[in-house]
Amino acid sequence: MNDRSNVKKLIGVISGKGGVGKSSVTSMLAAATMKKGYKVAVMDADLTGPSIPQSFGITEKAFGTEEEIWPVESKGGIKIMSVNSLLENET
């Protein structure tokens, strides 16, 4: 965290194994938390297959300045940041 952050809670969904449902659990947890009235953001740090943006139907890229990067917001209001949101060419 830094002095510009106002994050109060952080939940990590992690596993060293692929295909165990990390993205599914993360997407459902984010949507359920948002339904309860909380502000929600998801950081997808999967370098080999970031799928969170696809789960939320996001195709746009993140934007920012030299000091900050702003996440893309889903239709439901969940802020999404992913490795593939930063790359010009996702391959």
pLDDT digits over 26-78, tens only? 999 999 999 999 999 999 988 777 789 889 999 888 888 888 889 999 999 99
**Share in percent of the chain as helix, strand, coil (round to 5):** 25, 15, 60
Cα–Cα separations (whole angstroms), residue 51 to 5, 15, 18, 54, 66: 25, 15, 12, 5, 26
- Confidence (pTM): 0.81
